[in-house]
Chain A
Amino acid sequence: MKPVTRRATLAALGLSAPALGTLSACGGGTQPTGGGGSPSSLSVWALTGAKQDTYQASFDAWEEANPEDPFAVEFFANDSYKEKIRTAIGSGSAPTLIFSWAGGTLADYVDNDSVVDLSGRVDDTLSRSIESINSVGQVDGAQYAVPNNDTQPVILYYHTGLFEEHGVTPPTTWDELMTAVETFSAAGITPLSLAGQSVWPELMYIQYLTDRIGGEGAFQKVLDGEADAWSDPAFTTALERIVELVDAGAFGDAFGSVSADAGADVALVHTGQAAMILQGSWVYGTFKQDAPDFVAEGSLGFLNFPAVDGGTGDPANVVGNPANFWSVSADAEEEVQELAIRYLNEFNLNEEMVGDFLAMGAIPAVTGLEDQLAALDDGEFLSFAYDMVLAAPHFQLSWDQALPAAPAQELLTNLSQIFLGETTPADFVAAMNATLAS
């Protein structure tokens, strides 16, 4: 007992001295020790989940071809990744390949010179992917990021059994949607399952509604930082429509504690407690995993978001996650950057990777998949989603990703208050306009 304590005392005394030394020694330089990337060798962080194996296989293939330069690969859960990558970049210990959703965060990285301009250096990988999605990886016309996985449009799923039982037609217009809402509500079924606790699923409503009502231009003005951009009538009308839905009981009375992380929103549909759900294409996998029979017997239907009468937006437009993206860290040494770029051109979204994504029921963001998709087990769903993306003149990235962090948080908070009936469209617009000024 005693010798242990003595050693511990020495350790305790010894600890603080070097720690103080480090404090004065580094005024913000690069610190490779933080568990993140090292500037002198290849490293990459990606997300856990179904696609983890695909990335791993791709990096393994690279390692086989380049045994001298393997990737140090690390996987994170979605939420923790988003919070942590920023710190790593801020402290100069970012991985060589930076995984992102493009949008506002990518713009921040570009502002901080944290990522490399890839224009003209990644043409091989760009030639494989879908053009409208490639353009999401551009900042001020320069290519800073390239798509690296599947495209994830937001889809209106519905329970075909419940629709037949209550004689409702799958809605393609706003009026039909409202009719469906009234019918199901009267029958004691939640018309639209909504994960209100997660808040971000609420964005899908305002995004689709704004787009259908006023087109993609309204939000573009916000991104451009125009004064009072949120005063565009498209936003106000969209918010009023949301209030209309809430008042009609479209989301039931308990959406506030339904969490998307726990998949409870999806469960409500396959257990027959809710009739529809507006969610990303990724929840198709959750349906299949949690309720294989439900999907197999064809009970899951899918639609694009209904058109809104008198709206000026193209009803073929799509919102969601165009794809995830790779950027190359500017903190990495030149040779390492070159290696990473070579990986992107030779291995990113190559045939093997595309095959892997298709096998798991994801739609890689590449062109020319029509025939392959139709032949798959989930061909019906995959072709539907793929055609939806190819046919879309505009693919709107999720607003919370497109905006810088602070306005994005403000948006989520205000939006959740709209759904809860705690704020009015006018106050929402005023609060959001205030974020433009700063």
Chain B
Amino acid sequence: MRHRNPNLLGGVLGTLWLLVILVPIYYIVITSVRPREDYFSSNPLSLPSELTLEPFRYVLENDFLRYFANSTVVTVVTVIAVVTSSLLASYVIVRSRTRLARFSQKLFLLGIAIPLQATIIPIYYLIVQMGLYDTLWALILPSVAFAIPITVLILTNFLRDVPGELYESMTVDGASDWQMFRSLVLPLAKPAVVTVGIYDALQVWNGFLFPLVLTQSSEKRVLPLSLWAYQGEFTTNIPAVLAAVMLSALPILALYILGRRQLISGLTAGFSK
């Protein structure tokens, strides 16, 4: 759609929104390299008199890497468990007409319609009773359960597009469920798995409520919670807190730079159809 005259109004409003987006981000960046002494006295949007990486050093010295590692473990394990179990389930839902398969499909749809976060109190009780309180498992297990419905929905949508004849021919060759899954379903679903994997990973990486309620010690702290904790521990050291904010966004930024398309499709997984 090429217009004869450029859309001036659109350009102006778009630029305004750009400012709205950029000012807070500029503030985060500029403050994270501002010396601590300057924070209370200088203009918060001015360039600092001298650039310092001191806030970053301070954050890294305060166990940031441990929280980073915890977040990584939780995210990786959760995503592997979610995607594997959901892909198996989606395979059955698409290919089987048994009552259980249809029931499962309805069940997972229900899971999407309900704000599952509201079940945090019984989950807390359950985790404490299981003796899993303040372990990384306490974060992984419910995260897996909460991610399954949407993951199944997206994967079933994708698997439905696979022609039935493909499965047919393999069955004729006498392939077992397992062989079929490994040599047909998995390779076929790979693009959808990447998309939905990124989506799940972002959800888990950014999750706040589970860590807040289900863990306590600094040993088990994950990144979003650590930001909150830093805010209390560093007291007046706002530059260091914002340095931690910057660092926590780095992995996603890296993903954005390396694979913008994948990240965006992961973010909007299954919604933009």
Write the residues of chain A forming the contact surface with B, with a CB cutoff of 8 angstroms: 2, 4-6, 8-9, 11-12, 15, 19, 22-23, 26-28, 31, 33-36, 48-49, 74-80, 83-84, 87-88, 90-91, 93, 261-264, 266-267, 271, 286, 289-290
11 A-B contact pairs sorted by A residue (CB < 8 Å)? A8-B81, A12-B144, A22-B131, A23-B129, A26-B130, A35-B220, A77-B229, A84-B134, A84-B216, A262-B238, A267-B236
Q: Does B217 contact A (CB under 8 A)?
A: yes
Chain B residue, CB-CB nearest to A19? B130
**A88–B231 contact, CB under 8 A?**
no
Q: Does B233 contact A (CB under 8 A)?
A: yes
Known: A22-B130, A261-B231. A9 touches B88 (CB 8 A): yes
**A286–B216 contact, CB under 8 A?**
no
Q: Does B171 contact A (CB under 8 A)?
A: no
Q: Does B49 contact A (CB under 8 A)?
A: no
Instruction: Report the minimum CB–CB distance from A245 to chain B (whole Å).
Output: 26
Instruction: Report the minimum CB–CB distance from B141 to chain A (whole Å).
Output: 7
- C-alpha gap A8/B88 in the complex (Å): 12
- C-alpha gap A350/B121 in the complex (Å): 43
Main secondary structure of the interface of B (DSSP, over half): helix
**A93–B236 contact, CB under 8 A?**
no
**A35–B229 contact, CB under 8 A?**
no
Known: A2-B182, A76-B216. A261 touches B235 (CB 8 A): yes
**B40–A267 contact, CB under 8 A?**
yes
Give which listed residue, A34, A76, A261, contacts B133 with CB less than 8 A.
A34
Most buried by B among A27, A80, A263: A80
Instruction: Report the minimum CB–CB distance from A196 to chain B (whole Å).
Output: 17
Give which listed residue, B88, B134, B144, B236, contacts A35 with CB less than 8 A.
B134
**B232–A77 contact, CB under 8 A?**
yes
**A261–B232 contact, CB under 8 A?**
yes
Chain B residue, CB-CB nearest to A79? B232
**A35–B84 contact, CB under 8 A?**
no
Chain A residue, CB-CB nearest to B241? A262
Main secondary structure of the interface of A (DSSP, over half): helix
Known: A2-B186, A5-B84, A8-B80. A31 touches B235 (CB 8 A): no
Q: Does B85 contact A (CB under 8 A)?
A: yes
Instruction: Report the minimum CB–CB distance from B41 to chain A (whole Å).
Output: 7
- C-alpha gap A28/B236 in the complex (Å): 42
**B236–A263 contact, CB under 8 A?**
yes
Of all A-B residue pairs in the complex, the 7 with the closest CB atoms, nearest first, are A84-B216, A31-B131, A35-B134, A263-B236, A8-B80, A34-B133, A263-B235
Q: Does B30 contact A (CB under 8 A)?
A: no
Instruction: Report the minimum CB–CB distance from A22 to chain B (whole Å).
Output: 5
B232-269 residues with Cβ-Cβ distance < 8 A to A are: 232-233, 235-236, 238
**Additional 11 contacts, C-beta under 8 A, given A8-B81, A77-B233:** A12-B80, A19-B132, A35-B219, A74-B217, A84-B134, A262-B231, A262-B235, A263-B235, A271-B41, A289-B236, A290-B40
**A12–B85 contact, CB under 8 A?**
yes
Q: Does B70 contact A (CB under 8 A)?
A: no
Write the B123-166 contact mask toward A (1 if CB under 8 angstroms, else 0).
Answer: 01010111111110000010010000000000000000000000
- C-alpha gap A426/B220 in the complex (Å): 46
A79 CB contacts on chain B under 8 angstroms: 232
- C-alpha gap A6/B41 in the complex (Å): 58
Q: Does B52 contact A (CB under 8 A)?
A: no
Chain B residue, CB-CB nearest to A6? B182
- C-alpha gap A231/B189 in the complex (Å): 69
**B128–A91 contact, CB under 8 A?**
yes
A49 CB contacts on chain B under 8 angstroms: 233
Q: Does B96 contact A (CB under 8 A)?
A: no
Give which listed residue, A22, A48, A93, A266, contacts B233 with CB less than 8 A.
A48
**B135–A87 contact, CB under 8 A?**
no
Q: Does B218 contact A (CB under 8 A)?
A: yes
**A19–B141 contact, CB under 8 A?**
yes
A266 CB contacts on chain B under 8 angstroms: 236
